[in-house]
């Protein structure tokens, strides 16, 4: 093994934890990438799991820790290569990105060997971890105050995106398609022929058991789908591919009181919440401007005029995906809710 390279071939049934150095800070403090390896009954395929590309997105970190606590390597067909904290500088600051560098790590892949600290982290992570994998799951959350339902984001850029089956294998009802940006991890990885799924679970700055369990279940489904674990994945009988979203904002400043939850199916005109001003006594309802699903809701209640309080995905560009064989089908609550509300997915 070369110096400062992750040790991946650790032996059948073994677990290993270590780190590599990316660069250093102005006082000589090393900037490291920690990693875990679990090798099963055979070496391949290699599944990459990563979290905290944005340093305040915490649920994915706990997902990786628990998987390594709970999985039995001798029940695994292949290897899990996991990086629980990619952006250690931003994690240290409890922020989305390093405040000195000021660059979003998920916009600079594949990185630069002699670039800024963030670009160097991207370079080492991409070349020493991503390129070693056959496929991967990139764990994210919404930003602080932005609570997202569990869903994979199929990001495309210039017609570059992984095949949809990798997203479906996570087992969520909703799959979110939208245009990505150059420098995103999954866009850069797909150029190398490595499918990496972005999986959103919850919101930044918080540890939440519901979303941690959703993350674990999604990864277990993925591994079963690709035969890394025995058993059939639990995947909804009807999965819905939706495109883009609308930001619903407040007209006034004050305190936002939501009347719906993330994941609710909602008809046009229904109240999403109410904003009350503690200074003027004014109240203003926030309503859905079309039929759709609330994919995200604001959890930090103090708002200004123009602050987004909900993220709505409409069904007019929806696509019900064909059934998948050899799965354990579960009912789609979202699809059932659209039928109850008289909403058609077109």
Report the CATH number that the domain containing residue 208 is assigned in CATH.
Answer: 3.40.630.10
User: Which residues, including other chains, have CB under 8 Å from residue 56's CB and lie 6 or more apart?
Assistant: 90, 91, 94, 95, 96, 144, 204, 205
With respect to residue 106, please indicate whether it lies within any of the assigned structural domains: yes
Q: Is the pLDDT reported for residue 189 higher than 60?
A: yes
Q: Is the pLDDT reported for residue 336 higher than 50?
A: yes
Same domain, 164 and 264: no
Write out the residue range of the structural domain in which residue 81 sits. 15-231
User: Which residues, including other chains, have CB under 8 Å from residue 213's CB and lie 6 or more apart?
Assistant: none
Q: Quick one: which H or E segment has residue 63?
A: helix 59-70
Work out the average pLDDT over 212-217.
98
Kindly indicate the confidence band of residue 3, based on its pLDDT and cuts at 50, 70 and 90: low
Report the CATH number that the domain containing residue 275 is assigned in CATH.
Answer: 2.40.50.100
With respect to residue 337, please indicate whether it lies within any of the assigned structural domains: no
Same domain, 268 and 215: no
Strands 302-303 and 292-298: unpaired
Kindly indicate the confidence band of residue 283, based on its pLDDT and cuts at 50, 70 and 90: very high
Q: 138 near 122, Cβ under 8 Å?
A: no
With respect to residue 335, please indicate whether it lies within any of the assigned structural domains: no
Q: 152 near 164, Cβ under 8 Å?
A: no
With respect to residue 344, please indicate whether it lies within any of the assigned structural domains: no
Identify the residue with better confidence: 180 or 115. Answer: 115
Residue found by looking up tokens 């403090």 in the block: 29
Percent of the chain with pLDDT over 90: 84
CA angle 325-77-207, nearest 5°?
A: 85
Q: Is the pLDDT reported for residue 1 higher than 60?
A: no
Least trusted range by pLDDT, from 25-39, 140-154, 238-252, 320-334: 320-334
Q: 52 near 85, Cβ under 8 Å?
A: yes
Q: Which of 85, 113, 64 is nearest to 219 (CA)?
A: 64
Residue found by looking up tokens 């994979």 in the block: 152
pTM over 0.85: yes
Mean pLDDT, all residues of the chain: 94
Work out the average pLDDT over 14-18.
97
**pLDDT value, residue 2:** 59
Please provide the size of the chain in residues: 346
Same domain, 33 and 69: yes
Same domain, 218 and 129: yes
């Amino acid at each position: 093994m070369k110096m400062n390279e992750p040790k991946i071939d650790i032996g059948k049934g073994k677990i290993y934890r270590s780190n590599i150095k990316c660069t250093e800070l102005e006082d000589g403090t090393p900037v490291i990438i920690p990693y875990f390896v679990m090798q099963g009954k055979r070496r391949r395929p290699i599944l990459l799991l990563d979290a905290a590309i944005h340093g305040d997105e915490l649920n994915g970190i706990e997902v990786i820790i628990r998987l390594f606590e709970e999985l039995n390597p001798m029940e695994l067909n292949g290897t899990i290569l996991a990086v629980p904290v990619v952006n250690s500088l931003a994690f240290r600051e409890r922020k989305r990105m390093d405040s000195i560098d000021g660059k979003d790590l998920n916009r600079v892949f594949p990185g630069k060997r002699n670039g800024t600290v963030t670009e160097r982290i991207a370079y080492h992570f991409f070349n020493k971890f991503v390129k070693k994998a056959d496929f991967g799951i990139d764990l994210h959350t919404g930003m602080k105050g932005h609570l997202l339902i569990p869903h994979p984001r199929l990001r495309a850029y210039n017609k570059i995106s992984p095949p949809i089956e990798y997203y479906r294998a996570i087992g969520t009802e909703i799959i979110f398609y939208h245009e990505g940006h150059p420098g995103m991890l999954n866009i850069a990885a797909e150029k190398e022929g490595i499918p990496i799924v972005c999986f959103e679970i919850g919101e930044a700055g918080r540890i939440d058991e519901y979303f941690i369990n959703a993350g674990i279940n999604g990864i277990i489904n993925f591994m079963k789908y690709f035969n890394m674990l025995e058993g059939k994945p639990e995947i909804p009988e009807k999965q819905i591919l939706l495109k883009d979203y609308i930001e619903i904002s407040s007209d006034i400043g004050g305190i936002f009181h939501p009347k719906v939850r993330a994941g609710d199916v909602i008809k046009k005109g229904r109240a999403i919440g109410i904003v009350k001003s503690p200074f003027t006594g004014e109240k203003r309802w926030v309503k859905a401007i079309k039929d759709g699903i609330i994919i995200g809701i604001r959890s930090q209640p103090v708002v200004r005029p123009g602050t987004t309080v909900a993220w709505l995905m409409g069904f007019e560009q929806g696509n019900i995906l064909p059934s998948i064989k050899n799965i354990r089908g579960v009912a789609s609550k979202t699809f059932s809710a659209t039928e109850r509300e008289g909403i058609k997915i077109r």
